[in-house]
Structure 1
């Protein structure tokens, strides 16, 4: 069984492999030895990379309700200094290179999202953690362990006024739910690079890691470009919108009494499709290069919005129109050019069309609430 220990320098929880006497932190690179209470000095950063502490300016203790990773909870650190209006993002792009699951557009999605956050929404580059197969740092490869640690880093020490973003482009799947907390009877899952040997990340874990810990005054946006992604953050409410733009909020709160909301913060998620749909990895939209249809349509809606002050409703409608129009022009090509989702055994050309979704921890007027990151 894997053992969880705190980094002796920054207090990030680390999964210690069986029999290991020491482990290097994925965030600050310092080495923690099991049973050694003495703190270790942080490792010097490589010459071509900023110091690890510049990723978020300071190291902070876990939030008041730290995420539970299947029974493990990180120990609280020292009191956090006051900090407000920080922007932090985790961007994950998984291409599954050289495998039967390979996707062509996910790393392009990650790069485009990073560019958007830096240039449009003024996120400091040092506060964006990129996980792709192109990264040289082994702790930034999108494995299940690294994605889990990145999610913890994203919410660690968040303060009122902070704006957080979690973007994922890669495969998504479903598995049967046996706890009764899913309306449709299925859990949604993200598929890390090593999912075939290490398993998938279930929506319950994502919710526990980055949704439930959020305190009042903190805002998180999920942008999930994968198959079966409608409720990937397991949020309590889903905006069910028809083609005319009329909508109702569906109540997805579990009947089992499990709380899937926040600790007072705000979470809003855009996703590539409904839970029973697949998402496209295609060159039909960008023409020149492959992209995820959802990521492309989201960036288009934000950058070229039909309105000067976009709302969540106008962005969702613009995303759906972009995909629907391209799909109509090429006779369903956006869907049929999808790399077939081998995980579920389904065919990309069969089933419902891809329709981006919006979910949230609390209902709101989607045409009145301004969009902001």
Structure 2
């Protein structure tokens, strides 16, 4: 993703902060504290004309919602490397840090490659395919719930799957290299057609994953067990959510 943003999208290296488990610097390891700090760094001092990208590839989870602001009754969560000690990062906190501060003229694109990630940014509008085969917006705002939009800017999130689905790391898309299916399909779609519309990008990602669905397999310590359960029925459908509704068939993506 870092290479893609720099070489294909023109982001300068000094504007990108990367946290990975392989870093020697303890402040660049994706702990809960470091991830929250990086989120704040990303949007600090944001002003009109700024464009932000937040990418997370790792583990996702969900937990029972207690403030009654989720349609399905669950909060979606990111899992830092130390989540068993420090706790998870809940969608309410992600929304408060990355979405709420965005002023008019700013835009945030989030790319979330985790399980249960459909509404990870808690954005009020979800783009779904209708029975007629057209994308339409669903309003996920809840009466009396806290405001989950921005301060005038636009926040758009591409996520790996629906809130009840599992996302995979796989070699089925890239040969012998293990990669997140959603991250891979997003980059491939953007490289093939950098000026595509949001609807076209979402379709391309879904088709890419669907075409290789029988080859998708989970990796990791519980892979063998889960693969036997899920088998060829593994389903993963990338999702699109936004702080405001727009025409996905005419609006072209620009990071």
Q: Confirm whether residue 210 of structure 1 aligns to residue 92 of structure 2.
A: no
In 2, distance between residues paired with 1:368 and 1:179?
A: 36
Question: 2:245 aligns to what?
Answer: 363
**2:218–2:226 Cα contact (<8 Å) kept:** no
Instruction: Give SS of 2:96's match.
Output: helix
2:215 to 317, 333, 336: 333
What is the CA deviation profile of residues 320-356 of structure 1, one whole-angstrom value per residue up to 9, with x for unaligned ones?
00000011xxxx331x4354779xxx94643761000
In 2, distance between residues paired with 1:291 and 1:315?
A: 19
Instruction: Give SS of 1:270's match.
Output: strand
Instruction: Give SS of 1:161's match.
Output: coil
Q: 1:223 to 1:194 in 2, by over 3 A?
A: same
Question: 1:230 aligns to what?
Answer: 118
Normalised by the size of structure 2, how large is the TM-score?
0.94
Work out the number of aligned pairs and report it: 251
Q: Confirm whether residue 309 of structure 1 aligns to residue 195 of structure 2.
A: yes
Question: 1:186 aligns to what?
Answer: 74
Question: How does 1:194-273 map onto structure 2 within 5 Å?
Answer: 194-241=82-129, 245-273=133-161
In 1, distance between residues paired with 2:152 and 2:58?
A: 30
The ranges of structure 1 where at least 4 consecutive aligned residues each deviate by more than 3 angstroms after the TM superposition are 242-245, 338-342, 346-352
Q: Confirm whether residue 146 of structure 1 aligns to residue 30 of structure 2.
A: no
Q: 1:313 to 1:233 in 2, by over 3 A?
A: same
Unaligned stretches of 5+ residues in structure 2 = none
Q: Confirm whether residue 320 of structure 1 aligns to residue 206 of structure 2.
A: yes
**2:195–2:254 Cα contact (<8 Å) kept:** no
**1:159–1:217 Cα contact (<8 Å) kept:** yes
Normalised by the size of structure 1, how large is the TM-score?
0.65
RMSD (CA atoms): 1.9
Question: 2:55 aligns to what?
Answer: 167
Unaligned stretches of 5+ residues in structure 1 = 1-112
In 2, distance between residues paired with 1:364 and 1:205?
A: 25
